[in-house]
Structure formats: structure tokens, C-alpha cells
Structure 1
């Protein structure tokens, strides 16, 4: 049995969840989109999740955190909290790429998109820059995470061949810049700790852990 605490603070959304063997437990998700509230809310969310589901911290098998890219302050709060808990409890610490988690969450909610389409999760990096990567509809990486300044010809090569679904906090500001019939911009689909559940469970099974000392 793998009971994992999941933490997502890479964007303006503060989110925590508990998964059991890769599935979110009933009443196992708490999140808020109150900007800059991570420091106040995260510890409260974790405490409430454990109490409301009848768990003690010592019942946890591991702590998983969204490790970026994203907001420096948000990530620092989430990672520091996750490392501190993992170290104190003597349990594994798992890091999940924020863009991978967002992509997997999208694919779980939209399983019937065109099989040859690409998915581009995006995190806003202010002005016209985003953090992004490309994945196929099976969740496999097509291009690695990068910081990208969005221009009118961004992703032109990909859009010439297939549909690209843009999702996340960086996607909407690109809708007026990238003009293509094959560009699909998904509104209001943002990061959530629930999206870490599958990847965190897989990493737990494979013992792909991070060092809490760094």
C-alpha cells in the first residue's frame, strides 16, 4: 500500500492531496487559487487532509511535490515543506515535473483527443515568456522543458502537421499571438496536486526518490 501526500505550489494555486495506490482518496483534495497564500494555507491543508481522512503523519509512505518549472516563491514553499516532512518522518521524497503532471491531468480529463495531436502544457513566466514542453497523447515527452518567448511563429512546425493543445496558466495569453486552425487553447485548466498521483505512485514503485539533503 502506498499512501502518498501530494503537494502542488508551482503557480498561484495552492493544492494538497492524498493518494492511495495512485488514486485520490475520498475527500482527499484541498486547494485554493488565492494568490500568495501558499505559506498560510499549505500546512493547514495538509493537517486537515490527514485528520479528515483518519490518517496520522506516520501512516504516509512518501511525500511528492511538484518541482517546477514555476513560481520561485511557490516552489520554495512546496519543496521545503515536502522535504521537511519527508526528512522528519524518514520516508521517501518524490519530485514530479510540473508540466508532466499538468499534461497527465489534462489527458485524464480529455482521453478522446486526436491520437496524433500534441499537448503543450505551459506555465506563465511573465510578459510573453512561458515554461513549456511538448508531449504526445500517451504522455511521452516530444520536446524537453524550456523557457520560451512566445511569438507569432512559435510552434509553427508542429502546427503545420497536427493539432496542438495548449493548457495551463501560460496558454491563454498565447491565444492572441499564435493564430492557427490547429491550435487549441484550453481555458481554466490549471495545476492541481491531484495530477501528481499517477507519476508519484509510479516513482514510488520504481524507488525513484530524491535526496532530502539538497
Structure 2
């Protein structure tokens, strides 16, 4: 048949032609804010989101030799949940936020699940998206800020004896539409003006 074992592929996103320039500018924006507002490494946060597939299929199949694009049934399995992972520039891994498709807490892990109590005591969040998808939205981002970022900021301010009225923090996000939305950014400016948001340039993550 002229077939050979092949790995599933898909077209990758292309980085911008001027990626070095725009990434350098983003770096200097961060450096300026950190220096200008004397932000310690413990208050510089980087958050990213990834989907966790419940039943991961194989990415291998048989296809004609030298195939450029290979499709595998089940490769694009969408039954999943989203995990928001955050770390600080000081190297601390913050609690996770897990987002599940559904409108009520019944969509999230049962409180009788193994290690559930341990996860909750560690600060991890299990929340329903309140929509028909598992992607983050305004409700989820506000929960993330209030339950994870603000809690960590308060802890660091108390530990390092900083001024809670004037101390700034910095949050690095990707350019996902919800992160860049006027609704979210306006909410942040109104509720948490001391948290500076900087975006990783598009297609540069």
C-alpha cells in the first residue's frame, strides 16, 4: 500500500516576522514596571491555561509514505477541562484553577473524591464554567484573580511587611480574547488597580 507508521500533524502557527522586536519591547515593559514600582519577584506572576483531555487518543496511525498532513481519529478529542497554572518569578507554583463544562458544582469533582480535601486545603479551585464549554470566561477569570492571585499577593505583602495600599504586582498573560477583553480589563482597573497586566505578544508563547 505504500504506507508507513506516521504521527498526526497539523499546521503550526507562524511567529510574527518581527517577533524579536515585539518580544524585546514586552520584556522592557516588564522590566520598567518591576523597577519603577519596586515589584519583588514573589509578586511577578505568569499564568497560562491548558486543556486536559479525559481520554487521550493515540497520535499515531498508518498513512502513505512522505505524507505532509496526517489525520488521526480521536486526535482532536474535545472532552476535557481547563487548568490555569500560575508561577511567580521567585519560582513558587501557585494553586491551580480547574474549569469544567457545566452550570453547577455538580460538573466539578465530588467532595468525596480521593484527595479532594487535600486539594482544597492547598488552595486549588474546581469551578464550573457556567457555559457549554470548558474555556475560561469573565466569571472564571474573576474567580482566578480573587481566589488565587489576590490571596497570594496578600500573603506576600504580609510576609515581606509591604504596604498593601501602594504595593504593585505584575501579571503576565497571553493574548486570549477573554484576557484582552474590555470587560475584564475594566474590571481589573476598578477592583485591583495595583495589579499591572502585561501581555505576551501573540504567537510568541
Answer 1 or 2: which has greater strand percent: 1
TM-score of the aligned structures, taking structure 2 as reference length: 0.25
Larger Rg: 2
TM-score normalised according to structure 1 size: 0.25
